[in-house]
Amino acid sequence: MVADAVIRSAPRKWLFNEAIDRAVVELQKEATAAMVAAANKLTADARQKARAYNIALDSMPEPLPISTIDVLRGIGLDKHIGLEVAGYGCFTTHPSNWQAIVLADVLYGKGLGKKLPTAISATKHLVSKGLVRPEFRWMSNDLEAAIEALDNRFAAPWKAVEFYLKYLTGVGVALDWTHGFAISPAVASSWFDQVMEEMSRSSARTGIEETVRWLLDQLPDEERGGMTVEDWLNMINPETAEPYAALLANTARCNQLKLSCAPSLAFSTALALTYVNFWAFKLQTNAIVAWLLLPRRRRRRRPELPCKLRQSKSIGRKSLRSTPKRYSTSPAHG
């Protein structure tokens, strides 16, 4: 009891230990040296990244073809891609290419699933596609700040994406919902309509190409002269002075074209059975497609082509009566 009381109540005084003080001083020196080394390394890394960024800007690749450019152009979004935001040199492609992916895949296409895309998640999506230069993919905040201090054109990839998303928000293309970004409902609606129109146009073009291909297949080799569907598409329409390919690509009357494929196919059969002269065949084929491309109201004002069709059909019937052979009246694929 007495010993315990002495231990608990007796006053104590720490004695000076020179070894401990020397150890503390050494630890402080080591910490200071480590801080200086880290600062020097940060500066060296920042200078290296700044040089790499400058080289990247000088060697920026040309824009590549964009698969969604027709849709973007159709709804007026093509003017919102290709912006040289700070940090655009961190990407392996031209700004128009990675920004089109942010628009089409991330915002409209829901490429990140049901979650609202953020600048960081969108950047990870671009990284997964190999669109961010390896030397700029992952950097600390301190390194980013050091590079920005050396070159104000620089920004980390995620910041470049954030700048672009905020730009889209400012022009009404996207909405900033605090926890992420979303495409504007008005833009989404226009986008959907444009996609459906493009699908309809593509379907109409395919139908006409198949009709022309079948027509050419019905001709003897000496009359066909090696002509292909591509050759026909490059021929000039006498009314518009444009190639048929351009006419089919620019027309917006896809539904009328699709509805007109069936009667043109019937005429194609009669025309092929008569084995007309090759040049006459080309002229009549051109007239058919030109008539198909006309609005319905203009077709009624130009009845001359249907008359030619009826004449050709009657010629075909006479040809059939004069020969005992049996001919197919529909394309091989139909």
User: pLDDT (tens digit, 9 = 90+) per residue, 38-83?
Assistant: 889 999 999 999 999 999 999 888 989 988 888 898 889 999 999 9
Q: Clarify whether residues 179 and 248 are in a common domain.
A: no
- What pLDDT is recorded for position 319? 45
Q: Are residues 271 and 233 in the same domain?
A: yes
| pTM for the full predicted model | 0.61
Question: 69 with 206, same domain?
Answer: no
Q: Is the domain of 45 the same as that of 165?
A: yes
Question: Given this model, what pLDDT does residue 156 score?
Answer: 93
CB distance 293 to 264 below 8 Å: no
pLDDT at 15 over 90: no
**173 and 238 together in one domain:** no
What percentage of the chain exceeds 90 in pLDDT? 29
Residues 257-309 have pLDDT tens digits of 444 444 444 444 444 443 334 444 555 555 555 555 555 555 455 555 445 44
Q: Which of 94-108, 158-172, 225-239, 257-271 has the lowest mean pLDDT?
A: 257-271
Q: Is residue 204 one of the residues assigned to a domain?
A: yes
Residue length, the chain? Answer: 334
Position 57, amino acid = L
Other CB atoms within 10 Å distance of the CB of residue 195? 16
Q: What is the mean pLDDT of the chain?
A: 76
Q: Which residue has the higher pLDDT, 322 or 67?
A: 67
The confidence band for 16, taking pLDDT boundaries of 50, 70 and 90, is low
Co-location of 213 and 309 in the same domain: yes
Mark whether 176 and 230 lie in a shared domain: no
Per mean pLDDT, which range of 3-7, 177-181, 267-271 is the poorest?
267-271
Mean pLDDT, range 150-175, rounded to an integer: 93
**Which of 107-121, 302-316, 318-332 holds the top average pLDDT?**
107-121
What is the pLDDT, as a whole number, of residue 13? 61
67 occurs within a structural domain: yes
Do residue 68 and residue 140 come from a single domain? yes
Instruction: Supply the range of the domain harboring residue 313.
Output: 198-321
Domain end (from 157, 183, 209): 183
Domain finish residue from 183, 213, 229: 183
> Could you tell me if 80 and 223 lie in one domain?
no
Q: Verify that 161 and 278 share a domain, yes or no.
A: no
Does residue 2 sit within a domain?
A: no
Q: Domain tally for the chain?
A: 2
CB 61 within 8 A of CB 92: yes
Whether 35 and 176 map to the same domain: the answer is: yes
Residue whose tokens read 């824009």: 63
Helical residues (DSSP H) of the chain, grouped into ranges: 2-9, 18-58, 69-74, 95-101, 119-128, 141-150, 157-170, 185-218, 221-224, 229-233, 244-250, 254-273, 278-292, 296-301, 304-321
The reply to whether 59 and 175 lie within a common domain is yes
Residue 230 lies in a domain: yes
